[in-house]
Amino acid sequence: MTETRVGLGFDLHRLVEGRPCILGGITLPHVKGPQGHSDGDAVLHALTDALLGAAGLDDLGTLFPDTDERWKGADSATLLGAAMERLREARWTVNNADIVIATEGPKIAPHRAAMRARMAELMGTDVERVNVKGKSLEGLGALAGGTGVAVQAIVSLERL
């Protein structure tokens, strides 16, 4: 019998000047980038938490604490790779992932295809199983004017 699970991830980072704008595993041309210990890739952080959540494997900060030398300043793609390794050990495969990136910072639409391809590659799955969409915030709330990026990710996993 096939077992199916879903997991939810969320992340929020401030966008500041002088940081590369790395989101969804790619670098976007933008004057500000996400603040953080690592590259601050809020998209990969939300996705990784959704994957771990679906598999019942705790969360990003608990499994890969930045107080541990191995993970200190680690690139978010490496953390996602380490999470995927745990999933594979538990025989989980990715059905699909769907991601919403809410920001008034970098334009997401021109980079959706590249993000999907990169995240599919990192998860070892097909690009049509990974979806990304950008949402503007209508100038409302604390993230108005491109001060930050908020990300929601949902993932479905399957194992036989």
140/160 Cα distance (integer angstroms):
45
For position 45 contacting Mg ion by CB under 5 A, the verdict is yes
Q: Which of residues 59-88 bind Mg ion (CB under 5 A)?
A: none
Q: Mark the segment that binds Mg ion (CB under 5 A) among 8-16, 22-30, 90-98, 99-107.
A: 8-16
Please state the closest distance from residue 160 (CB atom) to Mg ion, in A.
32
CA 130 to chain centre: 11
Candidate ranges 15-23, 41-49, 120-128, 132-140; the one touching Mg ion (CB under 5 A): 41-49
19 belongs to the binding site for Mg ion (CB under 5 A): no
11 near Mg ion, judged by CB under 5 A: yes
Residue closer to Mg ion (CB basis): 25 or 129:
25
DSSP 8-state class, residue 126 = -
Find tokens 């989980």 and name the residue: 92
Classify residue 46 as exposed, middle or buried by CB count within 10 Å of its CB (0-12, 13-18, 19+).
buried
Nearer to Mg ion by Cβ, of 44 and 54: the residue is: 44
* Residues 121 to 140 in contact with Mg ion, rule: CB under 5 A: none
Burial of 106 (0-12, 13-18, 19+ CB in 10 A): buried
CB of 45 vs Mg ion, minimal distance in Å? 4
The CB-side HSE value for 106 (13 A sphere, CA atoms) comes to 28
Which residues are near Mg ion by CB under 5 A? 11, 45
